[in-house]
Chains A and B, each alone.
Chain A
Amino acid sequence: MKIKTEIINSIFIVTFEGPRLDASFAQDFLNAMKGFIQKGHLDILLDLTAVDFVDSTGLGSIVRCLKEIDSRGQLVLCGVNEMVLSLLQMTRLDKIFTRAADRDEALNSLSWQRPKRTGTTISAVSGIPKEDEDDYAILLEVEDADVKEIASDERRRHRRIGHRQILDEDLVAYCTNTATGKNSTAVILNISPGGILMISTSHHSIGDELLIRSSIGKNFKLKELTVIRSCHDGEYGLEFMNPSEKTSLFLNQLTGAVILEHNDRFRHF
């Protein structure tokens, strides 16, 4: 039994390439999934199209994945055939798992849930030269050497701006972990309407919620709740959870944001 992984629109897709998710494969599957989740892949589509048999151990491994993700993301199953569905119904897990008929429906569901959950808004408009399109960059990059990335539209939603493009001096952020109350400082490396990339000597974990306070120039005070989406060598990718209109407007103007259409394509003005 094999699984294939890919990323489409920031949704991590796990596809079974064999027909059985049973006790002989469940532990390997679970170990792999735990690794993906630890790397920050919290919105996961599980494509079961090829699967025609799941036993209780296989099912338990999916329940465990759901618990690992908890409320930090979403796990959607697609391609569940009538036989596997009967297992979900017998175990009452049909009420627990989110299901979609096919991959497209699942991707749509996950794509819409994601901005709703994080509260990210993209509203302001300013002229972006066409040639700058390639600069629309990855703000929250997940290290994942073993995963082939197929598309990255989601990651192009925000244009980031480096701190040196804003100030000559370091852009310092004061962080408060909302769960522990612990305070720490960090240096912002880049910022966008979606979040920030910062470097810190303090230890944080993926999923930690941090209240970030910083001053950008003399007039703008940033105070936003964020969640850590990635970490690598002391660099943390933080996503704004529900940025205020003031912050969104300021950062959109600062970075020169774009409006995204429903199909996630850029519209230039």
Chain B
Amino acid sequence: MKRGFTILAIVTGLLLSFALYEALIAAPTERTMGDVQRIFYYHVPSAWTAFLLFLINFVASVVYLIRRDSKSDIIALVSAEVGVVFCTVVLVTGPIWARPVWGIWWTWDLRLTLTLVLWLIYVSYLVLRRFSTSSQTAKLAAVLAVFGALDVPLVYFSIWFFRTQHPSPVIGNGGSLDPRMAQVLLINWAAFLCLAWLMSWTRFRLEVLKREVEEAQSLQSLLEPSR
């Protein structure tokens, strides 16, 4: 287990360094936006990673509601937390990219607003988990996660079905992305996926340890009066 973690950490470090080189130096410069377009290599993979983590959160929450096992509950918590980290990157890099290209930091465009709502839903989920003392917290959080996940396809498909300020998809059906740029994009996504996996693994282990400590503490407090 420890060896696997070390290997993943090394692979992630190497991949992130290579992806950074590819994004900043090797990728061709975009004709109209220039170098600022390179933000794309961090902005888009972060969004995809966040969507994937929120999808994992949804599946784990449904499994928890059916089986009530603590492993699904921990997976749901961890994926939401790491997903919020990646979604924060999306919400920060987006306006930094928008300012030189659109001339504004933010606009209440459908894609942008839905992404902000998505972030707020999962922050609420984490706040609920952090501060609620009810024995029903895990169940309530799982229900919130199921409803929250409905926003993920809305965010993703908003640029397909509505005319928005946000650019249309550049990859997949109808996309016109340069093949070399697509390659750099996928390398960066692979690097971010490894980073997300590493963060989730660490956070999962921490949560398991935390629950074991809490269990031991409650056992200790039960035994104390008899001493």
State yes or no: do A and B come from one complex.
no
Q: Chain B residues in contact with chain A, CB under 8 A?
A: none
Q: Chain A residues in contact with chain B, CB under 8 A?
A: none
